[in-house]
Amino acid sequence: MKKDIHPGFYNCKVYHNGEVVMEVGATVPEIHADVWSGSHPFFTGKQTFVDATGRLEKFQKKFQGNYFRSDKKKGK
């Protein structure tokens, strides 16, 4: 291997809601996950609502009102 071209390798801690859920090897020292297998509805059987950084409100604001209404008449 060539010297000084590879990224550093860390024993990375993966956090979910402020708690360490696992440790893996990675190029960054820590990862903060919104969803992981221990909190995903497919694995837990419980439905949870995840809205990271207001994405739902941003979507609703963008597509509110007459966004999908077309002023052009079809067939002309």
DSSP string covering 10-26: EEEEEEETTEEEEEEEE
Residue at 71 is within a domain: no
Residue at 19 is within a domain: yes
Residue 42: its pLDDT value, please? 72
Which helix (DSSP H) or strand (DSSP E) does residue 32 occupy?
strand 30-32
Please tell me which residue, 27 or 56, carries the higher pLDDT value: 27
This model's pTM is above 0.75: no
Strand order in the sheet with 19-26: 19-26, 10-16, 30-32
Residue 39: its pLDDT value, please? 72
Give the chain's domain count.
1
Confidence of residue 26 (pLDDT cuts 50, 70, 90): very high
For range 11-30, the mean pLDDT? 90
Condensed to tens digits (0 to 9), the pLDDT of residues 27-48 reads 999 999 887 777 777 777 776 6
Query: Domain containing 26: what range?
Result: 10-62
Residue at 17 is within a domain: yes
Residue at 69 is within a domain: no
Residue at 48 is within a domain: yes
Residue at 52 is within a domain: yes
Residue at 1 is within a domain: no
